[in-house]
A and B are shown apart, each in its own frame.
Chain A
Amino acid sequence: MDTAVRNDDHVPMTSATLEQPAAPVPGDRGASRGLAAQLARDTLYLLASLPMGVLAFTLLVSGWSTAISLLITFVGIPLALLTIAVTRGIAWVERARAAIVTGESVPGRYRVALPLRREDWSGMRRIWEWTKAITLDPQTWRDTGYELLLLPLGIAGFTVAVAGWATSLALVTTPLWWWIPHNTRWFDLGLFRVNGWGAAFAACALGLLALAVTAALVRGLSAASIGLVRWTLGCEVGELQQRVEHLAETRAGAVDAAQAELERIERDLHDGAQARLVAVAMDLGLAEQRIAAGADPAAAAGLVREAREETQRALAELRDIARGIRPAMLAERGLEPALTSLAARVGGVPTSVSVEVGDRLPTAVETAAYFVVAEALTNISKHSGASVASVRLQRRGRTLEIEIHDDGRGGANPNGTGIDGLRKRVEALDGTLRLTSPPGGPTDLHAEIPCGS
């Protein structure tokens, strides 16, 4: 998958509770009042659908036709993005309206968030990438489809609600009109004429029937519209399932990676520092024995010197192991100094480092970023034969982007164990990592890690 899947719930939680009665009235009265309130909500919902439909239809049709006709001049691209933003805005309102009627929020989910911050608009290439990703997002087109359907739906709902309620009310209240002094001999109701109390009450009975039919129609139409909202604007169970599977997979990967890391550290300690310290202890014991036995002091001094050298090697190894867990420079100073010092230490290929991340990022993100760069630079200096390399870290909104480039011979295996370990590390943080390394080069590594707000 190219882009990060991101949960983007556009419905504010408060809307779900707006219409809850403060204290439910017990018994039948409560139920009938609840039904009346529900019908009132349904009616208002259907009435509001018409202006929403007109608005959506106008904005979408004019937006897209302008954008498409200007596409050739590139002005069309920002216009298309703007139209998509408007589409999302209307979808947001529609989800909120549905939530008010049902009391349940409708979660919406987009693969790609809209570039709403100014720093997102950096360069044509960036805008082009956004446009492509957003255009490929299926939810964009589900939104659009729904919003175009909203106009005919709105017309139908509005007509049914207005005509239904008006007719029913007029019929039910016929006896009242008949009772009020009037100067005609009959009322012409189209179907029949009311010319006496009997007809008036018959009209009233017909009105009650019409009331029931209207209530059912209003309820049904509103429920159907909301069903459509859920189906088109809500996220699908299947997609959520996919997301769950992806998370389970990346979590298992993270656990594997952590376990492998621990085993490596244990091996390093056992074969390195621990063994060296045993050797030191042995040397010192022997020296002690020789001195106690009154042997040649020079021989004992040799053993002591060897022991001292071994201690230094043990210390160096312990330092390397500690650095492999979390580099001191990173912990104390942050990404930029740590990466600059790393680039200098790896050596071999002149590397430019540019870090624009603002404040400190979460520890896990910093550490992952550091090791991505460390592994990449090690590979570059070992295998690439590059003459120059660059590392660029940039924070875009809620995402840390890492781009590492070298002009070497390419041909790196994107599924090699080193890269796979890094990918697991990045995916554990819900990020993505991509390596492109065609034979002959150049090699590009691109990683994105979400880093909270």
Chain B
Amino acid sequence: MRVVIAEDLALLRDGLTRMLEDNGFTVVAGVEDGEGLIEAVERERPDVCVVDVRLPPTFRDEGIRAALEARRRVPGLPVLVLSQYVERVFAKELLADGSGGVGYLLKDRVAEIGDFVDAVRRVAAGGTAMDPEVVAQLVAGRGPARLEELTPRERDVLGLMAEGRSNQAIAAKLVVTEGAVEKHVSNIFGKLMLPPSEGDHRRVLAVLAWLGE
């Protein structure tokens, strides 16, 4: 699987490269800024990009803007954005076009190598990877109105689903059967009055869209 990394600090760029190559990815380009990212994406057409939010020259949200521009030029390009802190505004911007293949994670998550690599693969496959912090912010922003109708267990499932995890992964995390997870999911959709959707990705997008409303 071919990856482009956009990260201005050489230390982290090298670390990410080593980690991804150790896990069977091929890093085809490591760039320092947004312009470099767009160039590399158009040249290499990678399977996925890993982008730091904060890039030169402004060191604010260059990474988000570069990622959105790259997705505009190469539609459906999977992008995983890394950030020192998370902002739900950025998450909403990434999710705004309604297609999958986006991720938004705290930089800290790279330490959980298994989880991180899994997130990169999920995004590359057109799925979603939202940081639990982002999901928590989205849930908090949504307010308690409808969420109160959910049982604590259903809320756990909602959170994990919003992070972009499959039924199988949710079942493993909560130590229940996949059947039980499916039942929770259909309850959640019923209570939140969301149209039932097929497939993990579209389901996640529906949940995130509802949370981000």
Contact = CB atoms under 8 A, between A and B. Distances in A.
Contacts of B110: 278, 281-282, 285
B11 interface: yes
A181 to B, nearest CB: 106
A323 interface: no
A146 to B, nearest CB: 61
B19 A282 contact: yes
Given A270-B84, A275-B9, A275-B11, A289 B114 contact: yes
Given A281-B108, A282-B110, A289-B114, A276 B11 contact: yes
Given A270-B54, A286-B19, A281 B111 contact: yes
12 contacts: A267-B59, A274-B84, A275-B9, A275-B12, A278-B12, A278-B107, A278-B108, A278-B111, A281-B111, A285-B116, A286-B22, A290-B22
Nearest to A271: B9
Nearest to B106: A278
Q: How large is the interface on A (under 10, 10 to 19, 20 to 34, 35 or more residues)?
A: 10 to 19
Given A275-B11, A275-B12, A278-B12, A289 B107 contact: no
B193 to A, nearest CB: 41
B11 A279 contact: yes
Interface residues of B, number: 20
Contacts of A283: 15
Indicate the member of B15, B59, B108, B116 with the most A CB atoms within 10 Å: B15
Contacts of A90: none
Contacts of A289: 22-23, 113-114
B15 A282 contact: yes
B207 to A, nearest CB: 29
Interface string A287-303: 01110000000000000
B72 interface: no
Nearest to B14: A279
Question: Chain B interface secondary structure, helix, strand, loop or mixed?
Answer: helix
Interface string B29-55: 000000000000000000000000010
Given A281-B111, A285-B116, A310-B11, 4 more contacts: A275-B11, A286-B18, A286-B19, A289-B114
B213 interface: no
A170 B111 CA distance: 107
Contacts of B114: 289
Interface string A405-434: 000000000000000000000000000000
A284 interface: yes
Contact of B113 (A271, A274, A286, A310): A286
**Nearest 5 A-B pairs (CB), nearest first?**
A281-B111, A285-B113, A282-B15, A285-B111, A279-B15
Contacts of A310: 11
Interface in A240-299: 267, 270-271, 274-276, 278-279, 281-286, 288-290
B136 interface: no
Listed residue (A270, A271, A282, A310) with the most chain B CB atoms within 10 angstroms of its CB: A282
B16 interface: yes
Contacts of B54: 270
B112 interface: yes
A276 B19 CA distance: 15
Given A274-B84, A275-B11, A278-B108, A285 B19 contact: yes
Contacts of A276: 11
Contacts of A290: 22
Contacts of A285: 19, 110-113, 116
A278 B110 CA distance: 8
Contacts of B23: 289
A282 B59 CA distance: 23
Nearest to B114: A289
A288 B107 CA distance: 18
A285 B107 CA distance: 13
Nearest to B7: A275
Contacts of B9: 271, 275
A369 to B, nearest CB: 33
A286 B19 CA distance: 7
A281 B19 CA distance: 11
Nearest to A269: B84
Contacts of A270: 54, 84
B112 to A, nearest CB: 7
B116 to A, nearest CB: 8
A91 to B, nearest CB: 59
A259 to B, nearest CB: 16
Nearest to A274: B84
